Chain A
Amino acid sequence: MYVAVKGGERAIENAHRLLAHERRGDRDVAEVTLAQISEQLALGVDRVMTEGSLYDRELAALAIKQARGDMIEAIFLVRAFRATLPRFGATEPVNTGEMQVRRRISSTFKDVPGGQILGPTFDYTHRLLDPQLAEGFVPEQPAIAEASQAATPRVTDILGRDGLIEPSPQADGDAPVGDLTREPLSFPADRDLRLQNLARGDEGFLLALGYSTQRGYGRNHPFAGEIRFGEVEVEFFAEDVGFAVPLGSIELTECQMVNQFKGSTSEAPCFSRGYGLAFGQSERKTMSMALVDRALRAGELGEEVGAPAQDEEFVMSHSDNVQSTGFVEHLKLPHYVDFQSELGLLRKLRQEFAEANEAVEMQEAAE
C-alpha cells in the first residue's frame, strides 16, 4: 500500500543537524577561528567581500566557515545579509591616486614615477608544494626599509597628460550613483552599472571571458598599464555637519588596462581604457574585469560587436554566481508535476508513432 510522503520537516531538520556535524569535521581537530580564516586565507576573504559586495572581513570569514569553504555559498550568505542593511547614502569617490600603495606594477614602462613595487605576490614563485608549510613554519620577518615619500601617480594619468589615452569619463558629482541592487537593471546599461555588475561578477566567469578576448573573440590588444593594491581613505559627506567625514580606510586593487587605439578622421588616435576594481588583493579579478569592461565598450568605440565578451546582455545577465548557482541548483527541487506532463505527451507521441508504423507494415504486408 502506498502512503503519501510525510515528515519532510523532520528530514530537513536532521539534514541541517548532520550538515552542522560535518562542518565541524573531526571534533578532535581544533576548530578554525575567524581570525585564522581572515589572516591566513586572506585572499579567499577578499573574494567573498568583493563578490558579496560587503566590506567586512569578519563577516566574510564567518561566511567562509559557515559555507565549509564553498566560496559561492559564502558569497551568497554575505549578499543575503547585505540585502537587509539600510542605505544611508553613497561615499565620496575614493581617490586611488592617493592610495597607500603596497603593490604597484606597470607592464607598459620599465620604470614609472614612484617605482615598481612588487609587494606580496605569487608572481615569480616556483609552484612547488612546500612541505615546510605543513606545520609550525615560522617565516622570516619581511625586509624593511624607509618608506618612500615619492608620489605614485597613476600610469594612465601620465599617458593622459600627452593625450595618448582617452580621458577617463568624469561622472557628474550631483548625479546619483546607479545601484543595480536597488533598481532593476535594464538594457542598454550605463557604464557605472556595468562596472558594478562586473565587480560583483563571478571571478571564474570573468576570467574565462577575459581570456576569450585574448584568444580572438573580441580582441582588444590589452596592456596592463597599471595594477595597484593598497589602502584608500573612505569619506562620507554628512549633511548635518556640512563636510566630508572620514569613515576609515579599505584595501582595494585597481587595474587599468591600456587597449588598442580608437580614432577617426576627425579625432586623433589614442589608447582606450578598461577598468577593474575590487576589495582586497584581487588581481586576477580586476584584470579580468578590465578586459571585459573594455570588450563591453566595443559598441561605444565603434567596433564590430560579435564576441560573447562584447555582448552586454549576455555578460551582465550571466555574471552573477549567486543567481547562476541558484538556477542551476534549483534543478534539484521536485519537478515531477511538469515531468508527468511531459511523460504524458511523450507517451502519446510514441503511441501515435507506433500506430503509424503498424499501419504502414500492415499495408506493406497486404501488398
Chain B
Amino acid sequence: MNAPTYNFAYLDEQTKRMIRRAILKAIAIPGYQVPFASREMPMPYGWGTGGVQVTAAILGPDDVLKVIDQGSDDTTNAISIRKFFGKTAGVATTTSTMDATVIQTRHRIPEASLHAGQVLVYQVPIPEPLRFLEPRETETRRMHALAEYGLMHVKLYEDIARFGHIATAYAYPVKVNARYVMDPSPTPKFDNPKMDNCAALQLFGAGREKRIYAIPPYTTVVSLDFEDHPFTRYRFNAPCALCGADNSYLDEIVTDDRGGRMFVCSDTDFCEQRQAAGHHGTESAAPHKEKAHV
C-alpha cells in the first residue's frame, strides 16, 4: 500500500509556490479575487480549506500561530485547525492576539488592534460579493473588470426601501483601495472598520471557490453606504458579563427557557486579558432579561 508522507505544513513545496504567487498577485491588486488551483485538503470544504492553504503557504518554522472561530480559540474547528498545524508544521501556537505572527480566523476580527508584521488569514465561503445578485462567474468577473457596481447599490437601496435599513448584518460589502468591491467574509459588520488602514496584512482564502484576495497593510477599506444612510456598526447594548467591556462584540448566551440571556465577549482572548487586568462584569449577577418579544 502507498503509505502517505507529508511535507512541512502539509502542502508540497510546488503547491506552496503556486499559492504564494497567487498571494503576491492579490497583494498587488488589493481586493481583486485571484483564481488559484485549490487542493483537496484533509478537512472538508467549508471548514476553512482556503484559509488553511493560505496559512500553510506562508507559515515558517519561527511563526507563532493563533486560530479563532467565532472569535474564540476554543471552538471545535479552531482547535482542529490549530492541532493540524501543530502536527504537520510543529509551529508554536498561542491564544494571544498580541503574540501571534499569523492569525487564522473564521467570522471575526480580533478586538485588539493588530500590529505591523502580523498576518490575518480569513476563511472565506463565498468570495464573490456580487454572487447573490448575479450567480454567474463569467458575469461577475466582467462587472468587477468594469467596476460596474450599480447592482450592489440598488440592492442596498432596495433594503432601505423595504426595511428602512440596509439589511446586511454580516459579510457587509466593502470597497478596497477605492477600486474593488470585496466580501469581507462572514464577519459581523461590527468588524468592518477594523479592516480599514490596518497595520497587519489581511489575506483571504476561499478553498472551494478557488480564490485568494488580500488587503495590504494601511489600505483604505470603506463599507458601502449612502450619504443619508451612513454605515453603522451593531453590537448589543450591554457590557460583557465577564469583563465589563462595553466596546466589544458580544455573544448572546441563552441561560434558560424563560427569556434569560447573558452577553459575553465573542473574542475570548480579549475577554481573558481584561479579566486578568482586573476588569469584571456582573458575571454571577442575574442574567440580562430581554424585553418580552412583541
Contacts and interface: CB of A to CB of B under 8 A. Distances in A.
A59 interface: yes
B188 A337 contact: yes
A303 interface: no
A182 B68 CA distance: 29
A58 B3 CA distance: 12
Contact of B252 (A313, A334, A343): A343
B208 A11 contact: no
Contacts of A330: 44-47, 125
Given A84-B6, A330-B125, A341-B234, A4 B76 contact: no
A363 to B, nearest CB: 19
B113 interface: no
B231 interface: no
B242 A4 contact: yes
Nearest to A182: B37
Contacts of B135: 313
Interface in B30-61: 35-42, 44-47, 49
**Is the interface on chain B under 10, 10 to 19, 20 to 34, or 35 or more residues?**
35 or more
Given A313-B136, A329-B44, A349-B163, A4 B37 contact: no
Interface of B: 1-2, 4, 6, 10, 12, 35-42, 44-47, 49, 69-72, 74-77, 79-80, 83, 106-108, 125, 135-138, 163-165, 167, 169-171, 186-190, 208, 210, 234-236, 241-242, 249-253, 255, 262, 264, 266, 268, 271, 283-284, 287, 293-294
A343 B189 CA distance: 13
A350 interface: yes
18 contacts: A2-B287, A5-B72, A9-B79, A76-B40, A80-B40, A80-B41, A83-B39, A184-B38, A313-B136, A328-B46, A330-B125, A337-B70, A338-B170, A340-B188, A340-B266, A344-B169, A349-B165, A350-B294
Interface string A323-344: 1011111100111111011111
Given A313-B136, A327-B46, A334-B69, A1 B41 contact: no
Nearest to A334: B70
Give the most central of A6, A184, A188, A351: most B CB within 10 Å. A184
